[in-house]
Structure formats: structure tokens, C-alpha cells
Structure 1
Amino acid sequence: MAWPAKPCTTILSFYPIETSMNPLFDTILSKAKEKLQKQFSEKGFYQGQLSSSALSTCLAVYSLWLEDPLSYQSIIQKGLSWLTENENPEGGWGDTIKSPSNLSTTLLVWSVFFAIQKKKHDRATLWLKTRIGSLDPQNIVSHVLEFYGKDRTFSAPILTCCMLSGSLGEKQELWHQIPQLPFELAAFPAKLFRLLGLQVVSYAIPALVAIGLVRHRLHPTPNKILRFVRCVVEKKVLKLLEKLQPPSGGFLEAIPLTAFVCMSLIKAGEKNSYVVKQAVAFLVSRARKDGSWAIDSNLNTWITSLALQALPQKDIPPHQKESLKSWLLNQQFQEKHPFTQSPPGGWGWTDLPGRLPDGDDTSGALLALHSLVEERQEVIMAIQKGIQWLLMLQNRDGGMPTFCKGWSKLPFDKSCPDITAHAMSAFLAWKKDMPGHLQKAMNRSLSKAISYLQKNQNAEGSWFPLWFGNALAADTQNPVYGTSKVVYALASLESDKAHTLWIKGCEWLASVQNEDGGWGGGQGIKSSIEETSLAIKALSTAKAKYQDSLHRGLEYLIEKTKQGESFEPSPIGLYFSQLWYFEEMYPVLFAISAMEEAKTSCCLA
């Protein structure tokens, strides 16, 4: 450990591990379960509440303003008012109301205010000047491109929105600075996408088409041959966009992606297209009463899977078990997905039609069903399909990506330790129920996954996750989340290599515990309920070895939750292309999961 833990002198220490449970522990756990139960829908799932997003709100407002400023005047004004009320004290905006101001969100809000109100927002202007030194358009462009690097998934849409709004000026030559996404490549068969070197991630084909098309129509390339090719494929890629749009109208159920597509098509002269009409209807339907929008419609499948993994079976009423099982099975994909060409068998994060099958949610659903269903044969066919889907997803490096195998050029398409660990846990839970050939395939997969985790363990013993971070960290990474997930999975493996990795991961987790007893995203980062809970759950796999650290962590939860009365969420979630969010149910779910794990360990036996 980096520093020795203080002797445990908290309330919990007065209850020796061999005696009865601390009553405050029971109180918090009971209250957390009560909060979770209130989120149960009679339709058969647990529902959460995503944080409102300044970025989503400004993009939705601008899209509706472009569509019809009079018809949507009320909703536009409510959105602008929400943005004004939730501006940070220094004049910028973060991704959530709990987030520090950042360049991307502030730049977009600033641009939208300029487009609609025809004047620059003074406080945001000052923040931007302080942040990047100058509002010269070329300087703005260079800072955005530098931040996102080779991945154009977000940089191209952000800069395109700025150009369309007029905030960068009226000079047409400025379009030379904006990346031209090669939308013509979308005309190729989808199975070739990963081989074409696209500048956007696997799930962002709608952005590739819409953002690329508006750039082409407003400022086409001087290359006559390429310009001709793009003109020829325009109709084909617009048809593709219509085919990819789900019945809800929202691409991936994501407000930012749908708004970027909507505004780009309107400015490209496609205002009357079916895609725009559907996208506008989606944006209107997702507006909240306070005038804001979230980043996505919901995370119902993910929240439900987390809930079922956290709760003991005895805490789920019998009538709810059946509806939960039916609902969860109904979320499994039964057909090839048009976006990613992914085969049937996976699960996505929501129950809505814009979802994609992904590795994290598929593993979560498999583990949830394992916790929920006693008669395995009832669900065995669905489970086999899910296992096979994960086996096909695994990359050559042994790790698990999020959506597609082999898309390894951009960060959000690469293998990642946390999703790899989640899949390993799913395999371990179901392996003995699978036929022999699948057990052998799962064993090979587990072996490759362990090697991947060994190669990607940081020198000090931690792992970095992909879809979670910590904005307070200098590099925005969250090794506590990543390491906790990996350590928990490795604890169930009977392998010397896995055991060595597990020990090193546990030691690192214990070494970065904060003075207040909690954990943040890493060494010295402010503690949160979510990160503390994750670390407690992981270290509980070591039984009595980290008893003092566990007691101190549990004491932190008692104090931080005000003895179960308040579960304040933290913005540790990362959405597409580093967009932060918090989920109201994460601290509740993570705390339940951690405390239930601690109950079964020597810590509180």
C-alpha cells in the first residue's frame, strides 16, 4: 500500500466482525432498497433518471429553431431559460449541472445563443477567451480538433454547428478548416465499414452522412472527381439514413446525435425530408418540463440489470420476478442490427428502438437473468445466444469492445478492461449450464481475456475503464471504476495468472483510499458514493484481508448518505465521445451491491 490505513475507530468498529450487524448499516441498506423499489415499473423494469445536459439542450433548441421558430417558440424559450439558469458562475457550461465548464459545451451553447439572439453571450465570451486565449475562428477550430484528436465523431459535428450558427463568422473559406467527413463511404456495404478507415466510430454513421453532406453542399471540395462521386451518392446515403432511423425518430435514442443530424439536414436543404420530421418529433417528445434535455432517452435495461445483480432474490417479490424475466428477455435482439450489422443475441442499454446491442449490456443482462431465474432451462436458449454473441464480439487482442469486433482505430471502438471483465463474469456465471462445445469456447475466451488484462494492467496495478471517468482527475480517467470491475471478475477465476493480477489490483485499490474513508476516481480525487461502493465490492472479495479499509469505506457511506436519507449522484458516466452524465440511481444501486457483498464477506459476517 502507498500509505498505511488509519486504525478503524468509527461507529462500525464498535461492532466486532463476529457479532451482529451495525444497525446503521441495516438502515442504509433498507432505505436504499426502498428507493430502488419505488423505481420499479409495473411493465417489468427498474427506471432511472439521467442528468439534464446543457449540450443536449442547446442542440435540441437550435434544431427546433431551424425547423420552425414560431411553432416551437415556447419550447425554445424554455430551453434557453434553462441554459441561462444553469450557467456556471464563471460563465461557462459543463455537461451536467454538477460538472465544471468545458470548451465543447460552452462553445456550442455560445453559438446557439448567437444564432437565436443575434448577439454574443458576454459571460460565455469571456470564459472562452480565458480558456483558449482568442476567439479567432482558426484558434477555436484548432483547439477543438486538438482535444478530440483523430476521432472526428464529435469534433466535426461541433465545428459544423458553430459554422451553421454563424458564431465563427460569415467567411466561406472557414469551411476549409472544418473536417469533411467522407459520407460517400456510407454507400459501401456495411460489412466493409470497419475496413474503410472511417473517421467516426462504429455507431456514428448517421453523423458521418449528415455532417458530411451539409459540408459538401455548402462548401464542396475543389476536387472535381470527388465532388462528382459525392453528388452521385447523395440520394443513396439519404436513403440509408432513412433506413437507419428507428421508429422513435432518435438515432441511438441520443439527443445530441439526433440534433446534429437534424440541423445538418435542414441546412443542407432537406428540411422537408422524412428523417428531419421524425427527428424533430423525437426531440419534442424528449423535452423535459423544466426546459432541458438529457443525453439519452433512458438506460432502462442497464439500470434493471444492475438492480437484479445487486438485489438478493429474497428481496424481489414473486410477482415482480416473472415480469422482470419476461421484460428482460424481450429486450434481446432477435435480428441483425442495421447499424452495426451485429448478429442476434445481444442486449442494448434501453428498451427503446434506437438502441444498439453492446458488450456491457449483454453481459449485464446475462448476469441479471442468472441472479433472477432459478429454473435455468426456462431461459437457456436466450442465454446461449447471448454467450455466443459475446464470443463473436471478442477482439483478437483478447479484450471485449463495446459494439463491433475489429473497429480498433478509434478509442471508443477499442477493447477495454471493464467490459472485458464484465463478460468474464457472465461466462463464469453460466459456464456450467452450457453444452460442452460452448464451455470449451468460453474457456478459450477467458484465457485470452486474462492475457488481455495482464497486458493492459497499469504498472501500479490499476486498469482504466472506457465508459466511465472522473472530470476532477487531470486525465479524466477513473482507474477506481476500472480496477474495481476487473478485480471483482478476477476473484472468481482459478488461475495463477488471474490471482496475481487480482492481488495487485486489490493492493492498488486499498492504497488510494482517501482520508475520509471513501474513494474517488483515483489517488487524491474527491470521494463519491459510486466509487466508494465499487471499491468496497471489489475489496470484499479478499474477505478479511482489507477489513479496516472496508469498515472505513462503509462508515463513509453511512456519513455521505446521511444514514440512508440522501444518495447524491456524481457525474462519473461517459457518454459517446467523452460527454459526462450522472444517473440518479447509480449511487443507490452501487451502494446496495457493495453492502450486500460486504455482508457475505468476513468483514461483517
Structure 2
Amino acid sequence: MLCVWIEDPNSKAFKLHLPRIYDYLWLAEDGMKMQACNGSQLWDTVFAVHAIMSIDLSEEFGETLKKAHEFIKSSQVLEDCPGDLDFWHRHISKGAWTFATADQGWTVSDCTAEGLKAALLLSKVTPEIVGDPIETRKLYDAVNIILSLMNKDGGVSAWEPTRSYAWLEILNPTETFEDIIIDYSYVECTSSTIQALTSFKKLYPGHRRDEIDDCINKSTRFLEKIQRDDGSWFALIVAYFI
């Protein structure tokens, strides 16, 4: 918002930012509050769907699932960011799900994977209960972006593939979070990816099967490699989850 204001304070681009201020800034009793994300709507919704479907209560919660299904479908990012992605060093985003809403627009690998898992689960239920399934091409778009986020080590990043050097962390301006300047492979993103791709290939066995199998195999080896001696894994807590 500040950038477009500097370019032209009367521009349409700046004016479009103004209504969204309230997504991130508000006044409370003890002063100004700010959040880095406009909510956790998609994340909360897909796990509610997972829970309901896991105990076979789709008919009893049909209306809830139908509303959740519509939200999931309308929350998928349908286009990449405008302009030359290479010039701006932006990763693709078409087909992704975010932590919150499509308007928020930040691709997250595990949100995309969990969104895909929920969409696949709902596609198995009759449309009379949960509504029409998501279009197949949009499922393909989700798979495409999940595959694009796998790193050379077999792990999966949160936002974009690891594409620079860890020494850039010396530029980290925060006082509370480490390792945020570039993206890394994370256990929870990798785990969600394996689960989503495994579910997908059961329903669509002919779509990019070799690439999907390769991703699952490499990601599995990554998880085995980083497991601690006590059998546990260290999971990332992304800043906006706190």
C-alpha cells in the first residue's frame, strides 16, 4: 500500500488497498492491533471437513458440509499474480489455497494440500448432500503447485521452493523469528503433501503419475532423514500461526 501511495496517492491501486486495511489493523481498548494475515478461514474449514468426514457423519452435517464445500471452492486461487513472475521473483499461485481466503492470496503448501484433501473427500459424497464437486482441472492446478514446491532434498517448502542461500538470514529484521528470509523444507508441509498426493492418485491414477510417485518417494525419504533419534520431528511454527 505504501509503495502505490508513493507512486500516486490518488491512484486506483492505492484506493483498492483502503477497504482492506480493516483486515489487518484495528483499534482495541489498549491501542492499535495488527495481524499478518486476514484470518485462518480456509485452514479451519478444511480441518472441520476432515473431522466430520472421518466419523462418517456427512448426512447428519450435510448443510454444514455444503457450505464448507462452497467456501473451499471459492477460496482457491484461480490465477497467478499479474505481470512477469520471473522479473518479480514470484512463484506461481494458480491452483493454490491460502491460510485464509483467495483475496489474501499467499500460497501455502500445506494449506493447498489440506484443501485438496478436503475437496477430494467431498467429491466422494453425493452432490445432493454436499453440492457439486470441484472441477477436475482445478484439482490438477492444485497438484501442479504442490509438485512445484518440492525442493532438491525431497522436502516441501511453505511458500516457494528454496532458491537462495542461508547467509541471507543476516538480513532478518525481526527479533522473534529465525530463518524467515528464504524458505526451507518443513516436516508438516511435506507430510501434508504426501497425504494429499496419495489421496489424489487413488482417484486420478492417470494424471502425472510418475511425477507424483517421485514426489511421494523423495518426500518420504526426507521425513525419514530428518527424524530425531527419539522418534520425533521438529515442526515449524509459521509466524502467522502465533
TM-score range, shorter chain: 0.7 to 0.9
Decide whether the 8 Å contact of 2:151 with 2:161 is kept in 1.
Answer: yes
Q: CA deviation at 1:385?
A: 2.0
Quickly say closer, same or farther: Cα 1:281–1:387, change in 2 above 3 A: closer
Counterpart of 1:575 in structure 2 is 239
Deviations 1:58-106 (A, max 9, x none): xxxxxxxxxxxxxxxxxxxxxxxxxxxxxxxxxxxxxxxxxxxxxxxxx
Q: CA deviation at 1:418?
A: 1.0
1:434 aligns to 2:204 (yes or no):
yes
What's the C-alpha RMSD, in Å, of the aligned pairs? 3.0
Residue 463 of structure 1 aligns with an amino acid whose one-letter code is W
- After TM superposition, the structure 1 = structure 2 runs for residues 196-211 of structure 1, keeping only pairs within 5 Å, are none
Decide whether the 8 Å contact of 2:49 with 2:65 is kept in 1.
Answer: no
Counterpart of 2:215 in structure 1 is 445
Decide whether the 8 Å contact of 1:408 with 1:415 is kept in 2.
Answer: no
1:314 aligns to 2:61 (yes or no):
no
Quickly say closer, same or farther: Cα 1:293–1:395, change in 2 above 3 A: same
Residue 325 of structure 1 aligns with an amino acid whose one-letter code is H
Quickly say closer, same or farther: Cα 1:438–1:271, change in 2 above 3 A: closer
- SS of the aligned residue for 1:287 comes to strand
Quickly say closer, same or farther: Cα 1:386–1:279, change in 2 above 3 A: closer
The percentage of counterpart residues that share the same residue type is 20
Q: Distance in 1 between matches of 2:212 and 2:9?
A: 50
Pick the structure with greater CA Rg.
1
Decide whether the 8 Å contact of 1:325 with 1:373 is kept in 2.
Answer: no
Aligned match for 2:133, one of 373, 378, 397: 378
Q: CA deviation at 1:446?
A: 0.8
Q: CA deviation at 1:276?
A: 6.2
Decide whether the 8 Å contact of 2:77 with 2:102 is kept in 1.
Answer: no
| Structure holding more helix per residue | 1
1:301 aligns to 2:42 (yes or no):
yes
Decide whether the 8 Å contact of 2:201 with 2:207 is kept in 1.
Answer: no
1:367 aligns to 2:117 (yes or no):
yes
- SS of the aligned residue for 1:436 comes to coil
Quickly say closer, same or farther: Cα 1:273–1:360, change in 2 above 3 A: farther
- SS of the aligned residue for 1:426 comes to helix
Unpaired stretches in structure 2, ≥5 consecutive residues = 83-87, 127-131, 167-178
Counterpart of 1:569 in structure 2 is none
- SS of the aligned residue for 1:404 comes to coil
1:323 aligns to 2:79 (yes or no):
no
Quickly say closer, same or farther: Cα 1:288–1:366, change in 2 above 3 A: farther
1:287 aligns to 2:26 (yes or no):
yes
Q: Distance in 1 between matches of 2:234 and 2:162?
A: 20
Deviations 1:386-438 (A, max 9, x none): 12221122111111011112335353411111100011111122221113242
TM-score using structure 2 length? 0.72
Unpaired stretches in structure 1, ≥5 consecutive residues = 1-205, 211-240, 243-261, 469-573, 582-605
1:398 aligns to 2:168 (yes or no):
no
Deviations 1:237-271 (A, max 9, x none): xxxx54xxxxxxxxxxxxxxxxxxx8xx6xxxx79
Decide whether the 8 Å contact of 1:329 with 1:382 is kept in 2.
Answer: no
Q: CA deviation at 1:279?
A: 5.1
Residue 403 of structure 1 aligns with an amino acid whose one-letter code is W
Q: Distance in 2 between matches of 1:352 and 1:389?
A: 15
Residue 378 of structure 1 aligns with an amino acid whose one-letter code is P
Counterpart of 1:424 in structure 2 is 194
TM-score using structure 1 length? 0.31
- SS of the aligned residue for 1:333 comes to coil
Deviations 1:97-122 (A, max 9, x none): xxxxxxxxxxxxxxxxxxxxxxxxxx
Aligned match for 2:107, one of 343, 354, 357: 357
- After TM superposition, the structure 1 = structure 2 runs for residues 545-560 of structure 1, keeping only pairs within 5 Å, are none
Quickly say closer, same or farther: Cα 1:352–1:330, change in 2 above 3 A: closer
- SS of the aligned residue for 2:230 comes to coil
Decide whether the 8 Å contact of 1:346 with 1:362 is kept in 2.
Answer: yes
- After TM superposition, the structure 1 = structure 2 runs for residues 119-158 of structure 1, keeping only pairs within 5 Å, are none
Residue 393 of structure 1 aligns with an amino acid whose one-letter code is L
Quickly say closer, same or farther: Cα 1:320–1:460, change in 2 above 3 A: closer
- After TM superposition, the structure 1 = structure 2 runs for residues 230-269 of structure 1, keeping only pairs within 5 Å, are 241-242=3-4
Counterpart of 1:407 in structure 2 is 163
Quickly say closer, same or farther: Cα 1:317–1:386, change in 2 above 3 A: same
Residue 327 of structure 1 aligns with an amino acid whose one-letter code is F
Q: Distance in 2 between matches of 1:273 and 1:455?
A: 54
- SS of the aligned residue for 2:157 comes to coil
- SS of the aligned residue for 2:165 comes to coil
Q: CA deviation at 1:384?
A: 2.3
Q: Distance in 2 between matches of 1:298 and 1:357?
A: 14
